[in-house]
Structure 1
Amino acid sequence: MMTLIRGGTVINADRAFRADVLCEGDKIMAVGENLDAPAGATIVDAGGQYVMPGGIDTHTHMQLPFMGTVTADDFFTGTAAGLAGGTTTIMDFVIPNPQQSLLEAFNTWRGWAEKSAGDYTFHVAVTWWDQSVHEEMGVLVRDHGVNSFKHFMAYKNAIMADDETLVKSFRRSLELGAIPTVHAENGELVYQLQQELLAKGIRGVEAHPLSRPPEVEAEAANRAIAIANVLGTPVYIVHVSCAESLEAITRARAKGQRVYGEALAGHLVIDDSVYRHPDPEFARAHVMSPPFRSSHHQQALWQGLRGGNLHTTATDHCTFCAEQKAAGKDDFTRIPNGCGGVEERMAVVWDAGVNTGLLTPSEFVKVTSTNAAQIFNIYPRKGVIQVGADADIVVWDPEGTRTISAATQHSKGGFNVFEGRTVRGIPTHTIAAGKLVFERGELRAEPGAGRHIERPAFTATVA
């Protein structure tokens, strides 16, 4: 199986250049001008278009059991939607229940993911602590290609990690050559604010952002960064949504600390007015944590991406239908948290970032693919157009347009937080592991075509 992408401009994180790209099997075999087309090769005409590494979404939740229900997108529908939007690899989360074996949970998620249409890899959450967790973290790194561990500082009485767990897990991650990642919200403070709002009779969606103000996120981000600094481990802060958290990351990085930040496409373009919408169903559909913020915070996040203190863009793709969200119609704390976006992320970031001059095309590649591959140690297998890399490629029409709508999306859930937004800059072709899986609106996703991507530890020896 050979594919020749002809006549485009290759955009990597470091430079742009005119070149054809030849793929054989699941690898890129040649990059250069005027390449000959082998007999039987599929020809993709990229004239007037960009040829970029397939997107890597560092934060998704497919088929997630959460808040008494399960997300609408499973690993097939979710990864297929990603392919339609130019994302060829997702990084999903194994989330053990408290007291559950990490390996047991990992094997469960691996089973669910066998139907994936695109490549996938896992962060594993540490939701409790004893000696067995210490040991299983080592097994996951050594035998299963896991090099990142997630810590929820939110969700009291469920999966929240206390400070003891954070310290012990961060230390163990450092020993193993893995990177700890954190959902930074002070779970105790969120819980107390929720109870106060309910006691005052404020039970609607408008209470959700009131219970999770920026200060709640900033406190947790500062605490995680301080713990990482004392222990000497790097740390990755997921879904940074506010200026105060970005300031904490920026201060630490200015002092030489290895802190990485992730921004969600939704947080970059959607503001908190959605929680005051007159239609409760519309408002509930936007409930996620951290919540959407005011435009002041959006501007800060763009500055963080542009200035190099935020490194990746993701979605936190976690879809629920209207009936599932309605579980919280009389109590905002019962609304399943989560929104979609895996199909729209790249187009939204291009339109709002590149088209406005906030990002260059190469910076776009950095924050949608290359930085993720480098931070999580799968570069140069992923995140670059070069010989020997995986043939995960998106052909991008910078002048193409699409009006985003739930009516035309491939994702499940029946709602789209970017509904009605017209974006300029869209994928025309997606190649995943050397196969043409999306061509000018036609999705050819196949269940089970995706591969589990193991990510090596950052040190040579794993205890």
Structure 2
Amino acid sequence: MSILIKNGTVVTADHTFRADVYCEGGKIAAIGENLNIPASTEVVDASGQYIMPGGIDPHTHMQFPFMGTVASDDFYTGTAAGLAGGTTTIIDFVIPKPGQRLMEAYEQWRDWAEKSAADYTFHVAITWWDDSVREDMGTLAREHGVNSFKHFMAYKNAIMADDETLVKSFRRCVELGAMPTVHAENGELVYQLQQEMLEKGITGPEAHPLSRPPLVEGEAANRVVQVAKAMNTPVYIVHVSCKDSLEAITRARASGQRVYGEVLAGHLTIDESVYRSKDFDFAAGHVMSPPFRSKEHQEALWQGLQGGNLHTTATDHCCFCKEQKAAGRDDFTQIPNGTAGIEDRLAILWDDGVNKGRLTMNEFVAVTSTNTAKLFNMYPQKGSISVGADADIVVWDPEATRTISAETHHMNVDFNIFEGRTVKGVPSHTVSRGKIVWCNGELRAERGAGRYVHRETFAPFLEAAARQSEVNKPEAVER
């Protein structure tokens, strides 16, 4: 099957130009004008529209067993909804239970993901440590294309990694040439503050942000930056939600340290007032960690994105229906943490970013697709409009509008954190591996059409960094 997208303007992270894009065999085969193509080619008229790389969401949790339930979007429904919104690749998370072999958990997630409608790959979480974890990290990196490992500094008595685990895992990442990623919240502080809230009789969703103030995120971010510095490894901090953690990243980067930050579309656009609603379903529907912050923090996050200290945008898509959230009606610590957003991320960021002058179109492409592809070694296969790249493309209509609602979205959840918002700028077409999967409101997602993306490690880069570190040691200089 071949497709020609014509009469549009190509927008990449680097430049903008008029050209047609011809796709064949799942790849971009030619870019230019007056292309010589087969007569049987399907044509998409992109007049007045932009041709951009498909979105890459670096942070999703499909079908995730968590807090006594399972996220309501599975790998098919979640990725299909992503295609409707212009996202063509996800990086999900394999999260072993403490004591579970990493390879066992990885095989389970690979089995679940077989139904995916879009391409997918995985970060693998390190939730405990022994020699088997070290061994399995090597197997995953060398044989299965996993080049990133996740560490939760939160969720005490569950999946939290202590400092010993962080140090040992980071050291192993250096050996393998893998990127450590971190959920930065001080799990002990959160636990103690949660108990304080309950003792005071504050049991509703309003207690959630009170038990996870910005300082618990800032402390963890500062700590993990120092651990990464000591281990001489880059580090990627997920869902940065406040000035405190952003400042830790900014300081580290100013000193030459390779620290990367991710921000969620929700944290950029929704403030903490949602937790004070008298409607339990509404307030609980916004419970995620870290929580939504004040507008002061939102503005700082936009500045971090504009200034290059935040590099990617994600959703942390992990959705639970109202009935599932109701498990915490009398105890906010039992509300399953997570919100949806994979279908809405690109439109929200275009509307609040490009339409409001906060981002250029090229910056939009960088933070929604290309930067993630580069950081996790998928570029230029992903995140690129170039000959030979995967034909993952979104045709973007900057004049079209959509009113976001749980009544009309394609995500398998009965709540939407962006409910009622009208956005200007939406995909008219989404192309995944050379097939049109979204066409002017019609979803054509295919169960099982997605493919696993194998990501090579960064061993050559990290080996060079280690050599430089040896040179810079005082004893080496003295000799």
Same fold (TM over 0.5): yes
Report 1:172-251 matches (<5 A).
172-251=172-251
Contact 1:9 1:18 in 2 (8 A): yes
> 2 CA distance for matches of 1:334 and 1:457?
38
> 2 CA distance for matches of 1:34 and 1:400?
28
Give the aligned residue type for 1:118. Answer: A
Contact 1:204 1:329 in 2 (8 A): yes
Give the aligned residue type for 1:371. Answer: N
> 2 CA distance for matches of 1:90 and 1:317?
10
Residue 425 of structure 1 aligns to a residue in which SS? Answer: strand
Structure 1 unaligned runs (5+)? none
Contact 1:146 1:454 in 2 (8 A): yes
Contact 2:233 2:462 in 1 (8 A): no
Contact 1:142 1:462 in 2 (8 A): no
Q: Which residue of 1 is the match for residue 409 of structure 2?
A: 409
Q: Which residue of 2 is the match for residue 90 of structure 1?
A: 90
Encode CA deviations 1:85-141: one digit per residue, 9 max, x unaligned: 000000000000000000000000000000000000000000000011011100000
> 2 CA distance for matches of 1:35 and 1:406?
42
> 2 CA distance for matches of 1:175 and 1:227?
16
Once the 2 structures are TM-superposed, how far is the Cα of residue 77 of structure 1 from its aligned partner? 0.1
Confirm whether residue 392 of structure 1 aligns to residue 378 of structure 2. no
Q: How many positions carry a matched residue from both structures? A: 463
Encode CA deviations 1:416-447: one digit per residue, 9 max, x unaligned: 00001110110000000000000000000000
> 2 CA distance for matches of 1:425 and 1:303?
22
Once the 2 structures are TM-superposed, how far is the Cα of residue 462 of structure 1 from its aligned partner? 11
Encode CA deviations 1:148-204: one digit per residue, 9 max, x unaligned: 000000000000000000000001001100000000000000000000110111101
Encode CA deviations 1:372-395: one digit per residue, 9 max, x unaligned: 000000000000100000000000
Give the aligned residue type for 2:290. Answer: P
Confirm whether residue 351 of structure 1 aligns to residue 351 of structure 2. yes
Q: Which residue of 2 is the match for residue 335 of structure 1?
A: 335
> 1 CA distance for matches of 2:197 and 2:274?
19
Q: Which residue of 2 is the match for residue 68 of structure 1?
A: 68
> 1 CA distance for matches of 2:355 and 2:99?
48
Instruction: State the 4+ residue runs in structure 1 displaced beyond 4 angstroms.
Output: 460-463
Residue 59 of structure 1 aligns to a residue in which SS? Answer: coil
Q: Which residue of 2 is the match for residue 366 of structure 1?
A: 366
> 1 CA distance for matches of 2:236 and 2:163?
17
Residue 288 of structure 1 aligns to a residue in which SS? Answer: coil
Residue 240 of structure 2 aligns to a residue in which SS? Answer: coil
Residue 120 of structure 2 aligns to a residue in which SS? Answer: strand
Confirm whether residue 303 of structure 1 aligns to residue 303 of structure 2. yes
> 2 CA distance for matches of 1:222 and 1:374?
25
Encode CA deviations 1:291-316: one digit per residue, 9 max, x unaligned: 00000011011101111000000000
> 1 CA distance for matches of 2:91 and 2:29?
26
**1:357–1:230 distance in 2 versus 1, CA, 3 Å:** same
> 1 CA distance for matches of 2:93 and 2:462?
22
Q: Which residue of 2 is the match for residue 274 of structure 1?
A: 274
Once the 2 structures are TM-superposed, how far is the Cα of residue 33 of structure 1 from its aligned partner? 1.6
Contact 1:141 1:462 in 2 (8 A): no
Contact 1:138 1:462 in 2 (8 A): no
Q: Which residue of 1 is the match for residue 168 of structure 2?
A: 168
Residue 320 of structure 1 aligns to a residue in which SS? Answer: coil
Contact 2:49 2:396 in 1 (8 A): yes
> 2 CA distance for matches of 1:37 and 1:346?
31
The RMSD of aligned alpha carbons is 1.0
Give the aligned residue type for 1:245. Answer: S
Structure 2 unaligned runs (5+)? 464-479
Encode CA deviations 1:357-383: one digit per residue, 9 max, x unaligned: 000000000000000000000000000
Contact 2:154 2:185 in 1 (8 A): yes
Q: Which residue of 1 is the match for residue 467 of structure 2?
A: none
Once the 2 structures are TM-superposed, how far is the Cα of residue 219 of structure 1 from its aligned partner? 0.3
> 2 CA distance for matches of 1:189 and 1:207?
14
Encode CA deviations 1:215-254: one digit per residue, 9 max, x unaligned: 0000000111000011110000000000111111000000
Once the 2 structures are TM-superposed, how far is the Cα of residue 34 of structure 1 from its aligned partner? 2.3
Residue 283 of structure 2 aligns to a residue in which SS? Answer: helix
> 1 CA distance for matches of 2:462 and 2:69?
37
